[in-house]
């Protein structure tokens, strides 16, 4: 496309605003995950602290680029000709220094910023999954163990109510089996 060009500005904008950033975002994402995993410390508390620092880095990037985040996330198109058409960069529109080092025949002033937004969203999901859905050994924890704080009589009444309603095995489950299942699970 760099040699043949685009039919019109709309095609170029579509490529540099949506297509290229999607691919570059994957590269940024996998590179970031590699760095996160290779620098991850040992122990659950240091890992949590480390991952929270990584989340703060993402937040800092968001804060530093808030205007562009708003522009992109609201599907605004008013500046697309300046942001996503090659050679139309406007020096007043917060350019990354990397733009001046990139191949200007295959880059616009903001296609990398879009890729970074997409990648940061994926990285945030990855980190939050590590923080909130994994135990210290990296195993998925579906349900946290709950402590029954009411009386044993209330628990027994609940078991009888479940048996009476026939909610297990189409009403064919023995009450002792229901009681055993509830007492050995997460309560």
Residue 141 belongs to some domain of the structure = no
d(Cα 166, Cα 178) in Å, to the nearest integer? 11
Do 55 and 124 touch, CB atoms closer than 8 A? yes
83 lies in the same domain as 169: no
Query: pLDDT band for position 22 (50/70/90)?
Result: very high
Looking at the structure of the chain, the number of domains it has is 2
Give the global pTM. Answer: 0.67
pLDDT one-digit tens code per residue, 44-77: 889 999 999 999 999 999 999 999 999 999 999 9
Tell me phi and psi for residue 104, to 5 degrees.
Answer: -70, -10
Residue 142 belongs to some domain of the structure = no
d(Cα 187, Cα 164) in Å, to the nearest integer? 21
Tell me phi and psi for residue 52, to 5 degrees.
Answer: -65, -35
88 lies in the same domain as 175: no
pLDDT of 65 reads 92
d(Cα 93, Cα 103) in Å, to the nearest integer? 19
Residue 60 belongs to some domain of the structure = yes
pLDDT of 93 reads 64
* Domain extent at residue 173: 152-184
Residue 66 belongs to some domain of the structure = yes
d(Cα 24, Cα 21) in Å, to the nearest integer? 5
115 lies in the same domain as 26: yes
Residue 3 belongs to some domain of the structure = no
94 lies in the same domain as 178: no
Residue 57 belongs to some domain of the structure = yes
């Amino acid at each position: 496309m760099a040699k043949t060009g685009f039919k019109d500005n709309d095609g170029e904008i579509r490529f540099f605003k949506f297509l290229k950033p999607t691919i570059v975002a994957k590269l940024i994402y996998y590179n970031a995950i590699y760095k996160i995993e290779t620098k991850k410390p040992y122990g659950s508390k240091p890992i949590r602290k480390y991952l929270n620092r990584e989340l703060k880095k993402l937040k800092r990037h968001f804060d530093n680029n808030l205007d562009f985040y708003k522009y992109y996330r609201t599907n605004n198109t008013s500046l697309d000709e300046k942001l996503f058409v090659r050679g139309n960069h406007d020096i007043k529109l917060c350019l990354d220094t990397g733009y001046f080092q990139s191949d200007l025949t295959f880059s616009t002033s903001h296609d990398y910023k879009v890729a970074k937004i997409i990648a940061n969203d994926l990285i945030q999901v990855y980190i939050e999954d590590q923080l909130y859905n994994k135990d210290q050994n990296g195993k998925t924890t579906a349900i946290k163990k709950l402590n029954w704080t009411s009386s044993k009589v209330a628990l027994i009444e609940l078991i009888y109510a479940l048996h009476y309603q026939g909610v297990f095995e189409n009403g064919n489950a023995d009450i002792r089996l229901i009681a055993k299942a509830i007492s050995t699970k997460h309560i």
